[in-house]
Structures are given as C-alpha cells and as structure tokens.
Amino acid sequence: MKNYYNLVEVTKLINENLNTINKINKEKEALIEIYNKDRTNLNTLKKIEELTEKYKLCLNEAKELNAISKKLKK
C-alpha cells in the first residue's frame, strides 16, 4: 500500500513537471517569434537560452521521475 501512495505522489510530480515543460515551450515559442522579428534584441535571445536550460533540467527531472515510477510499479 505504501508503494501506491508513493506512486500517486510521483505521478503528481510528473504532471507538475509536464505542465512546467508546456509553459516553458509556450513562452519560448512567443520569445522566438519576437526574436525573429527583431534579431538585434539580445535580451530576448538570452531569455530563450535561459528557458532552454530550464527545459533541459525539466527533461532530466522527468526521466528521473519516470524511472522512480517504473520501480514503484513493480
């Protein structure tokens, strides 16, 4: 029963992580549109790079949570 509750918590974390990834993607797409209109705007480019780093961290976290989830399902 303990694994079930842990699995529920991990599933919640996975969903939060996916929501964060989706928000990052939407924000990044908007910034890319802005940057494409004005390629001299280096602040926008810097924000895109920062979001890309956050995105990579979220993907790594998603992989770790997925591995934990698989272990708990056994």
List pLDDT tens digits, range 19-66: 999 999 999 999 999 999 999 989 999 999 999 999 999 999 999 999
Residue 26 half-sphere exposure toward CB, CA atoms < 13 A: 6
Structural domain containing residue 31: 2-73
For position 1, what pLDDT does the model report?
63
**pLDDT beyond 70 at 3:** yes
**Is the distance from CB of 55 to CB of 25 less than 8 angstroms?**
yes
Mean pLDDT for the stretch of residues 7-17 = 93
Do residues 22 and 59 touch, judged by C-beta distance below 8 A?
A: no
Number of domains in the chain: 1
Residue type, 28: K
- Give the pLDDT of residue 72: 85
